[in-house]
Amino acid sequence: MKPAVTFAPGPSELYFTVEDHIRKALRKGFPSISHRSKTFEAAFSLATNGLKELLNIPEGFHIVFTASATEVWERHIQNLTEEKTCHFVNGAFSKRFHEVATLLNRRAEKIEVEEGHGFTSQTIAEPAELIALTHNETSTGVSLPVDFIHGFREMYPDSLIAVDAVSSLPYPVFDFSKIDSIYFSVQKCFGLPPGLGVWIVNEKCVEKAERLRANGLPIGAYHNLPDMVAFAKKNQTQETPNMLAIYLLGHVVQDVLRRGINTIRKETEYKAAILYQALEQHPVLKPFVSTKAFQSKTVIVADTGTHTGSLAKFLNDKGLHPGGGYGKFKSEQLRFANFPTHSKEQYEFLVDTLASYPG
Amino acid sequence: MKPAVTFAPGPSELYFTVEDHIRKALRKGFPSISHRSKTFEAAFSLATNGLKELLNIPEGFHIVFTASATEVWERHIQNLTEEKTCHFVNGAFSKRFHEVATLLNRRAEKIEVEEGHGFTSQTIAEPAELIALTHNETSTGVSLPVDFIHGFREMYPDSLIAVDAVSSLPYPVFDFSKIDSIYFSVQKCFGLPPGLGVWIVNEKCVEKAERLRANGLPIGAYHNLPDMVAFAKKNQTQETPNMLAIYLLGHVVQDVLRRGINTIRKETEYKAAILYQALEQHPVLKPFVSTKAFQSKTVIVADTGTHTGSLAKFLNDKGLHPGGGYGKFKSEQLRFANFPTHSKEQYEFLVDTLASYPG
C-alpha cells in the first residue's frame, strides 16, 4: 500500500524534508529565540540568498516577507499605485487582485477572458502605473507563457509589471529585466505549512513607494515597502514574523538547490506531460485548459464532469487525494498540483490509476 | 543539571505541550489540509471558543486573527478611526502604536510619561475616536491597573477603548463592558512560535468600520474588520492563514483551561512576588519599576546597572536565560517573562540563583 499523498494545490503536500527540519528547529529552540538575534538573521539570509541563487535573481532586487500572497496584493496597491492599475483577469485569483485595487479606491482596468483561457493581446486601454499579470491561475490551471509576460516591458516602459507566480515558482524562468515585482506563497510549490508570502521587488518599486510617501500618501504603517526593504537589508523584519516559516523556507530552498533546479524543472515537465496525456487519452476525462500553450505545468485541472465525485472517491481510496475544483467548478473539475515534492513515481501511479478509472 | 529555560519576553519559552501538539498536527497531515475544510474550521473554533471561555468574553465580541500584534495596530487605525486618536505612551510599544496613527495621517494625541512609570490621570486634551492603552509595556515592565483602564468608559463614552494586552493575557481580568478592543500575540504568554496576532473586538468596532467604509474610506482590502468578522463567523479567514498557529493556539488554550485559569493566575502572582522580593532584597539589583501598583506581573524588569553583562553570564551558565533590556536600556536592564509555561520550581531556582549572585 502506497502512503497517501495529496495533490491539492495548496495548502499542499509538505516538501518531504519539512518534518525533519521542524524537528531540528524545535531541538535547537529556534521558535524561542529573539527575532533580533544573529541566529534569526542567519535563517533570514539563508532563505533570501538561497532564493536569489535558485531563481537567478539579479542585483537590484529585494526579497521581503508578508503573511500571505493575499497581503502582497494589498501592499502592491498601497505602495506602487496612486490612481490607475490594469489587471489581466482569467480566474478567481487574478480577479481578486483587481477587487483589491477597487476596494482601495484605485481606477482598476480589467481585461478579462473566460476561465480556462489565456490572452492573445497585450493591449491595455489607458496607461497604468501597475500592470498585474497572473502567471499561473491556481483556480483554473491556466499559465501565461513567460514570453507573453516579458512582452509588456517594451510596450509599457512606464508601468510597473507585477507577476503573480504564487503556484508556479520555482518552475518558470523569468527574465528579471522584464518584470518589476513577483511573488509567491510558501504553501504551494515549496511545500511548507501556510503563513508566509514572499515578495520580490526591484528598486523601481521602492522608489515609487518613496515618492508616494513623500507626497503624503499612506503606503502602509509597518509593511510599507521602503521600511520592509530597509529591514530586509539587515536580515530582519519590523514585526515578530512567522520565524519558523522563514527558517523552513531557507532549508527547503537549500534542499532544492542540492537536488538541482534543472532536475526539478525537467521532472515537472515530465510529470505534467504524462498527466495531460492521460487526461487526453481518457474516454471520459479531459484537460480543462484545451490550448496547449496555456496549460499550466504546476496545477493541472481535469474536466471531470459528472464523474467528479466518483473519480475523487476512486482516487482517494488508493491514497491519491486530488484537489477539488475551485468555486463554481467544484462539482465538475479536479485539480492536481505538480510540485517539487511530488515524485515521478507518485505521478506515474496517479496516471496509471486515472487510466484504470472505468468511468 | 536543570534543563535550560529562557525568560525572554517573546518569542518566549514554548508552552510545555507545544512540541507534542506540533508532532500530532504533522502526523495528522494538518498543514496540508484545505483552509476551507471542516477540519480547519474545527481548529479555528477550538481556538476562538476556547479563548472566549478562558477570558470570559461575553456575547457581542468577535475574535479575528492577524499576522502579528503589529498588524493589529495598523488595522485599528484603518478600521476604527477617521481623524483623531489618543495614545497613552510609556514605552517603546505604546509609542509605536502612536507612530502608526501618525503614519496613517491621523491626528494622534500623545499623553506621555517616562519609561518605568504609569499614569495618574485619565484626562485627554480633546475627544478622540480611539483611546489606546497599553496594559503591559513589554519594553519596561509597567502594567496599568485594570481599574485605571476600566475608568475611561464613563469619562469618554463616545470613544472606542483599545487595550494592548500583548504580553499579559490571559493573566488580567477585564470587564468587557468597559473596553471595545483588546489584542495579544501568541508568542508571549501562550508560548507559541510567533506569527499570529489575536484581536478581540465588539460590535461597536465593526459598526464603526462599516460606517467608515460606507463613507468611502479605505479600511483595508482583505483584513478589514467587517470582512474578518464575517469570515470568523464561518470559522474561516479570507486568506490562507498561519493554520498551524491557530491549531496550536486552540490546543494550548485547552491545556490551560484544564490546568485552570485561577491556578495559573495564582501561580503568576506567586512567581512575580518572589522575584520582586529577590530584586528588592538584593544588594546590587532592584526592580526597574519602583511603584508597586505599576509593577507588571508577567514581564519583570530588573535594574541591573553595571552588573548587566556579568549577571547575564552568571544566569546563562546555570541554564537560566534572561531577556535583554529593551532599546536604550540594553546595557542596564534584564527582563524576565513570567508566563504560564514558567513553573514555580523554575522561578524558585531563578530567585535562589539571583540571590546567590555576588555582584
Whether the CA torsion B138, B140, B145, B149 is positive or negative: it is negative
* Chain A residues within an 8 Å CB radius of B22: 22, 26
pLDDT values of chain A reduced to their tens digit, one per residue, 359 residues: 456 999 999 899 999 999 999 999 999 999 999 999 999 999 999 999 999 999 999 999 999 999 999 999 999 999 999 999 999 999 999 999 999 999 999 999 999 999 999 999 999 999 999 999 999 999 999 999 999 999 999 999 999 999 999 999 999 999 999 999 999 999 999 999 999 999 999 999 999 999 999 999 989 889 999 999 999 999 999 999 999 999 999 999 999 999 999 999 999 999 999 999 999 999 999 999 999 999 999 999 999 999 999 999 999 999 999 999 999 999 999 999 999 999 999 999 999 999 999 88
Residue B347 carries which side chain, given as an amino acid letter? Y
Q: Do A35 and B242 touch (CB under 8 A)?
A: no
**Would you place residue B359 in the very low, low, confident or very high pLDDT band (cuts 50, 70, 90)?**
confident
Task: Choose among B12, B31, B68: nearest Cβ to A239.
Answer: B68
Closest Cα in chain B to A102: B221
Task: Choose among A22, A68, A238: nearest Cβ to B240.
Answer: A68
ipTM of the predicted structure?
0.95
A346 contacts chain B (CB < 8 A): no
From the list B65, B63, B8, B61, the residue with the least C-alpha distance to B244 is B65
pLDDT reported for residue A337: 98
Interfacial A residues in 302-341 facing B (CB < 8 Å): 324
* Chain B residues within an 8 Å CB radius of A19: 26
Phi, psi of A249 (to 5 degrees): -60, -45
Residue A265 carries which side chain, given as an amino acid letter? R
Measure A12 CA to nearest chain B CA, in Å: 5
Q: Do B35 and A194 touch (CB under 8 A)?
A: yes
Q: Do B240 and A6 touch (CB under 8 A)?
A: no
DSSP state of A23: H
* Chain A residues within an 8 Å CB radius of B327: none
Phi, psi of A89 (to 5 degrees): -115, 125
Q: Do A68 and B10 touch (CB under 8 A)?
A: no
Measure B154 CA to nearest chain A CA, in Å: 31
For residue B6, how many other CB atoms are within 10 A of its CB?
A: 23
Gap between the Cα atoms of A71 and B67, Å rounded: 10
pLDDT reported for residue A1: 43
Q: Do B100 and A221 touch (CB under 8 A)?
A: yes
pLDDT reported for residue B1: 43
DSSP state of A328: G
Task: Choose among A32, A103, A104: nearest Cβ to B12.
Answer: A32
* Chain B residues within an 8 Å CB radius of A21: none
pLDDT reported for residue A102: 95
C-alpha cell at B348: 524558585
C-alpha cell at B188: 508571549
Q: Do B195 and A103 touch (CB under 8 A)?
A: no
pLDDT above 70 covers a percentage of chain B that reads 99
A73 contacts chain B (CB < 8 A): yes
**Domains by residue range for chain A, with CATH:** 5-13+261-355 (3.90.1150.10), 18-258 (3.40.640.10)
* Statement: residue B309 has pLDDT above 70: yes
C-alpha cell at B303: 535594574
Per residue in B171-210, pLDDT (tens digit) is 999 999 999 999 999 999 999 999 999 999 999 999 999 9
A31 contacts chain B (CB < 8 A): yes
**Bridge partners of A110?**
A87
Measure B3 CA to nearest chain A CA, in Å: 12
C-alpha dihedral (B197, B198, B204, B207), degrees to nearest 10:
60
Supply the DSSP string of B252-309, one letter for each residue: HHHHHHHH-HHHHHHHHHHHHHHHHHHHHH-SS-EES--SGGGB-SSEEEEE-GGGHH
Which residues, at least 6 apart from B299, have a Cβ–Cβ distance to it below 8 Å? B9, B136, B137, B138, B141, B167, B168, B335, B336, B337, B338
Gap between the Cα atoms of A11 and A9, Å rounded: 6
Contact A40, B63 (CB under 8 A): no
A79 contacts chain B (CB < 8 A): no
Task: Choose among A6, A8, A243: nearest Cβ to B193.
Answer: A243
Phi, psi of B238 (to 5 degrees): -70, -45
Closest Cα in chain B to A237: B70
What does pTM read for this prediction?
0.97
Q: What is the mean pLDDT of residues B48-54?
A: 98
A227 contacts chain B (CB < 8 A): no
Interfacial A residues in 43-72 facing B (CB < 8 Å): 66-71
Distance of CA A123 to the CA centre of its chain: 25
Gap between the Cα atoms of B107 and B102, Å rounded: 7
Which residues, at least 6 apart from B225, have a Cβ–Cβ distance to it below 8 Å? B64, B75, B79, B80, B201, B205, B206, B209, B219
* Statement: residue B10 has pLDDT above 90: no
Distance of CA A28 to the CA centre of its chain: 30
Q: What is the mean pLDDT of residues B314-335?
A: 96
Interfacial A residues in 93-122 facing B (CB < 8 Å): 99-100, 103-105
pLDDT reported for residue A3: 66
Q: Do B70 and A103 touch (CB under 8 A)?
A: no
* Largest interatomic CA distance in chain B: 65
Gap between the Cα atoms of A1 and B190, Å rounded: 40
